[in-house]
Structure 1
Amino acid sequence: MASRRRKVIDVKKEEAAEQNGLIGNKIKKSKKKVEIKDGGSFIGRCCSKVKYLFLLILVPPFLNYASLQKEMTELQPAGEMYDIGWGQKLFMMCKGEGAPTVVLDAPTGMSSDVWTRIWPDIAKHTKVCIYDRAGVGFSERPSMNASRINETRSGQPFTVERMAADLNRLITSSSQQPRPFILVGAELGATVAQFYTQIFESDVSGLVLINPLSDVLFEQDEGLWAKYWFGQLIPTYQTLQLGAAIGLTRLALIVGVLKHPLSGSQMTQDIEYRQKHLLCHPKHLSSVVDEHHFINETFSQIKTAKLLKTIPSRISISIMTGNYYDEQMPSSLNKAWAKAEQQFISKHFPTAQHLVVNGADHHMLYKQPHSVVEVILKMVRQVKLRNKNTKSS
């Protein structure tokens, strides 16, 4: 009996042990499942984050590109695209009638929109044209295949020699505007106007130079402006170009972190939208960078042109400047700019009419336009009177 009881107890112990083993295995399996589930959720979270990061990187550039394609048609200003040869077209708009034709050339890296508050008043008295230099605004950049065309082309792209040659083809052979021309240029546009007059002097009867770039600007005050130009100004435009390429500029404009160059200047809504469009356009900003980058080559070319010959005395010249270059800039930069400008006037244009607009800086084109209009119309009247007297005699 005792042996039977022991056997029964042993059997029960074995059954209990088996049950405990099964329970242990179940617990182990459940733990493994939990571990697998936890591991799966971690991988899922990582994949989800990578997906969102991927979307953040790729979506803004694609949205910006799609918006640019739509805006190119909707925001293009009134005017025409003129073929100047070499597979390149430049934008120009002309209004008004009669001679002389006033041609307005914008400051460094800026589109023809800067003349919006000036050209309508000029058009009431004579013909006036605004245009965008190569690559800036709505004009095309120089063609990469231009070297294959068997026709020589003046100057390196984005230097004053090339700009003057482009302008000549634009207003003569491509569109045949009535001569003579009164060239009105601001900053780099003033340099183009001077170079054009040096090369094509028979076309020009008057020059209005607004805040002209001095070819000795970088030599003033131990190269203060050279350090600013190449150390701060160009890197800023390069950053804007990168921001436009990856779509961040458009986001910055939407949330109000970034403002376009003509903001706060009483421009129409179309121009506001167009300036924002250009600020989001990598090609436009690439040309802005190039105009600044090749400024030393431009200075070298204009110096050489002035050594070869002077501008004829028959051409009327007016120069407009403000009290400073930019009231938001450090006084040291404004003083260096003023010194360089004064040297420029006394050396190259000592007999020119020099008008200082009190309280103005380089924003005068769109913040104090009436002062600019008065000077231009005064020259228009002078040229018309001179042409009338020449015909009568």
Structure 2
Amino acid sequence: MSSSENDEISSKRNNNSDLNRLEKQSVNSSDEIHKEIYKKLKWYENPVLQTSNSNQAKTTTYSSFYSSLYTGLLIVAFLPIILIAFVLFLLLWILPGLGWFYERYAEARDRKKYYPPIDEMKPWGPDNKLIHVVHLRAPESKLPPIVYVSGMGLSMYFVKPLLLKFVEYMDEPVEIISFDPLGYGASEPPNDWNTENAESQRLLLRQVIAKSTLRKPFILFGASAGGLLAHLYCLTYPEDVAGIILTDPTPSTIFEQGSPIGKVLNRACIQCGIMARAASWGLLRPLSFLLHHFSTGDVGDIFRYSHPGYIALLMTHTMLQKLASQLRYLHTIPDCISKQLHDDATSHRNIPLLVLSALNWTKKRPYGGFTREEMSQWWSESHQFFVRNSDNAGFIPRTDYTHMQCIVDMELVANATKAVLTQIHSEIVH
């Protein structure tokens, strides 16, 4: 390479270094200019114009205080609403749900605990449902057998001890049978409560009599509301019945206009439906205990003399549904009786019939605004319906007995049976 070329390259390098130096100086001078401008624009940072640290702290404190106060007021305003909503949630969802499960557990437990002897549970109900049948056999008996139709709300837990007393008072062997319809006591409930009516109850009674191979004719007992069903059976199958005894029966005129009890029974039907719903949530479990220890009058008599199983299963969902169902179809039994009397008014008239009427009403105003005397008179006159439909009828008014006392006095019932036996043909009494 020639010297001239070297000089040219060296000259270019010097020029480049000069340019770089000038650029750096230009940048430095530009930064200094910006710094000067920035300093001139910082006039608003004058301490006189700025908020002091103490005032800033006070503002923050006030803001925090008002925010907390607002939050507190909101909590105070909405807390009662939240609590009410929570309580309603417990009452309407959680507790009923727990009560629903507990009620089913408790009813199953009590049914198992107080389950009758296995030979008393018979598949004689519709769809082979198990029903509780008490059959006190007496092969050596020379008397006609007895079929006992119990009253409303009285299961075999209550009736069986009465039947055992009755046998003792009879002074000689006698065969007797009784049963709980579907839903009562240990008997299984029906698949559909709406299928229950007067006809289904009459057919169930006939089914039990047929399955038990009971000797016919027999003496038919009807206690309280069971008296209507017993009377209907007697009118329908007079050839099966040797005699009939009605222990303070529910009058067939009970739902007619002017009856002091019709409205009471209608209200009771509605109340039983409501109580059944409450019982399904386990709310009526304590009620049995209270009734057992604090109830008076006829209700108190029921609980004081009852089997523990009767008390345990009385206030259950199943039993109360049965009571509501029974009160509904009770309306139809008098109509069935009237129809049967219209179709055949003679074949039953020679059957001995005895009515025991309890006329001691303890309340000053028992029902429908009637006084005691008016109620006793109406009750006695209503029982005459049974008497008028027989040519061989007896009527025993007991002014010293309440309804429940008349039903549980087995000595009185045994004496009534002995009286009816005197009217039965000697061929039937072996």
TM-score category of the 2 structures, normalised to the smaller one: 0.7 to 0.9
Amino acid paired to 1:233: A
Q: Percent identity?
A: 15
SS at the partner of 2:261? helix
Amino acid paired to 2:264: Y
Match of 2:340 in 1: 305
- Alignment check: 8 A CA contact 1:262 1:275 kept: no
Change (3 A) 1:322 1:223: closer
Match of 1:105 in 2: 149
Match of 1:315 in 2: 351
Q: Deviations over 1:132-166 (max 9, x none)?
A: 12333333343349xxxxxxxxxx84433221111
Q: Is 2:370 aligned against 1:335?
A: no
Q: Deviations over 1:62-92 (max 9, x none)?
A: 3333211211211234432333343433221
Q: TM-score, normalised by structure 1?
A: 0.78
Distance, in Å, in 2 between the alignment partners of 1:212 and 1:353 is: 14
- Alignment check: 8 A CA contact 1:225 1:333 kept: no
Distance, in Å, in 1 between the alignment partners of 2:264 and 2:305 is: 32
Amino acid paired to 2:198: V
Q: Is 2:105 aligned against 1:66?
A: yes
Match of 1:235 in 2: 270
Distance, in Å, in 2 between the alignment partners of 1:224 and 1:385 is: 42
Distance, in Å, in 2 between the alignment partners of 1:376 and 1:388 is: 13
Amino acid paired to 1:299: P
Amino acid paired to 1:169: Q
Change (3 A) 1:352 1:366: closer
Amino acid paired to 1:237: C
Change (3 A) 1:73 1:178: farther
How far did residue 304 of structure 1 move? 1.0
CA RMSD after TM alignment: 3.4
- Please show how residues 211-226 of structure 1 align to structure 2 within 5 Å: 211-219=248-256, 222-226=258-262
Distance, in Å, in 1 between the alignment partners of 2:265 and 2:331 is: 11
How far did residue 359 of structure 1 move? 0.9
- Alignment check: 8 A CA contact 2:110 2:309 kept: no
Distance, in Å, in 1 between the alignment partners of 2:397 and 2:79 is: 68
Amino acid paired to 1:131: F
Distance, in Å, in 2 between the alignment partners of 1:82 and 1:199 is: 24
- Alignment check: 8 A CA contact 1:181 1:204 kept: yes
Q: Is 2:115 aligned against 1:76?
A: yes
How far did residue 259 of structure 1 move? 4.8
Match of 1:4 in 2: none
Q: Deviations over 1:312-361 (max 9, x none)?
A: 4563322211124x43314244432222222x044212521222223113
Amino acid paired to 1:327: T
Change (3 A) 1:315 1:157: farther
Distance, in Å, in 2 between the alignment partners of 1:266 and 1:240 is: 18
SS at the partner of 1:194? helix
Q: TM-score, normalised by structure 2?
A: 0.72
Q: Is 2:203 aligned against 1:165?
A: yes
Larger Rg: 2
- Alignment check: 8 A CA contact 2:272 2:320 kept: yes
Distance, in Å, in 1 between the alignment partners of 2:243 and 2:121 is: 25
SS at the partner of 1:263? helix
SS at the partner of 2:216? coil
Residue 120 of structure 1, aligned match among 158, 161, 164? 164
Distance, in Å, in 2 between the alignment partners of 1:239 and 1:334 is: 31
Q: Is 2:313 aligned against 1:277?
A: yes
Match of 1:130 in 2: 178
Change (3 A) 1:300 1:268: closer
Residue 348 of structure 1, aligned match among 365, 371, 389? 389
Distance, in Å, in 2 between the alignment partners of 1:224 and 1:388 is: 41
Change (3 A) 1:63 1:45: farther
Amino acid paired to 2:205: L
SS at the partner of 2:122? strand
- Alignment check: 8 A CA contact 1:265 1:366 kept: no
Identify which range, 253-262 or 135-144, moves more after superposition.
253-262
Q: Flag structure 1 segments of 5+ consecutive residues without an equivalent.
A: 1-6, 146-155
Q: Deviations over 1:245-283 (max 9, x none)?
A: 3333223444569859753357556x245234222x222
Q: Is 2:242 aligned against 1:196?
A: no
Distance, in Å, in 1 between the alignment partners of 2:68 and 2:269 is: 59
Q: Flag structure 2 segments of 5+ consecutive residues without an equivalent.
A: 1-42
